[in-house]
Amino acid sequence: MSRKLRFFKDQISKAGLLSSVHPVVEPDLELEELEIQLAKHEHELIEMNANSEKLQQTYNEILEFKLVLQKRFQCRTYGLLGTSEFDLDVEPDSARQHHEEFNFSEVFVHQMIHSIEFVLGAVSNMASYLRLWALSLAHSELSTVFYEKVLLLAWGYDSFIIRLIGLAVFAFATAFILLMMETLSAFLHALRLHWVEFQNKFYHGDGYKFKPFSFALLTDDNDYLN
């Protein structure tokens, strides 16, 4: 039996499976290495547990901050602007809660009024644009009149004094009548185009009620949350 074991060991050594470079490790050394590895893994597990607790704490803080922001945002939001200053809950007998029956004559009169307003608005808008066109035409004609009847007429004389007077009158008329008065008139017409024509076309008065920012609301929210 011992010969067979010796022969088997020699065959393994020849095959290179048993090398002297890797000696057989004693059982005590193996236990020490296992204890060192176990201690290292235990330390890593403790660190991972501590990190997980920190992550959980950070996550809870983020959730609390999110809830605070949601409550603050709900306290200062844009609300629908209704037809009344009161809510429907405050007004249980409000006409908005009752469904009215269809009345053809009432709808016809209502639509007829809107049609008349639309036609009158279109005529008013056309008149405003025609006034702007007439204003530019009058500006051009006044420039031609002042140039031909004042400057060229005075320049036709040989007298230096007459030419100087004509030049002064032309400069005064150009600066104060053409520039200042026409600029003021054009500004007023453009302002009317914006505040009258534009408003009656696109402005409806609906939307959201504006609630401006206030530090008092912040203190109220903090007291409510605390």
Instruction: Flag whether 162 is in a domain.
Output: yes
> If DSSP codes are grouped into helix, strand and coil, which group holds residue 209?
strand
Residue 176 and residue 198 in one domain = yes
Residue 198 and residue 133 in one domain = yes
Res 39: pLDDT = 79
Contact between 79 and 209 under an 8 Å Cβ cutoff? The reply is yes
Half-sphere exposure of 85 (CA within 13 A, CB side): 0
Instruction: Flag whether 115 is in a domain.
Output: yes
Instruction: Flag whether 171 is in a domain.
Output: yes
Residue 64 and residue 115 in one domain = no
The DSSP letter of residue 77 is: -
Res 66: pLDDT = 78
Residue 136 and residue 196 in one domain = yes
> CB count, 10 Å around CB of 43?
10
Instruction: Flag whether 59 is in a domain.
Output: yes
Residue 115 and residue 65 in one domain = no
Residue 123 and residue 195 in one domain = yes
Domain that holds residue 109: 105-207
Instruction: Flag whether 196 is in a domain.
Output: yes
Res 154: pLDDT = 87
Tokens 């000696």, residue?
A: 23
Cα–chain-centroid distance for residue 71?
21
Instruction: Flag whether 119 is in a domain.
Output: yes
Res 53: pLDDT = 81
Instruction: Flag whether 7 is in a domain.
Output: no
Half-sphere exposure of 111 (CA within 13 A, CB side): 6
Average pLDDT per block of 10 residues along the chain, 226 residues long: 55 53 53 75 79 81 78 59 47 50 84 88 80 80 85 86 88 83 81 77 76 76 55
Res 94: pLDDT = 46
Instruction: Flag whether 199 is in a domain.
Output: yes
In the chain, the number of structural domains is 2
Residue 143 and residue 221 in one domain = no
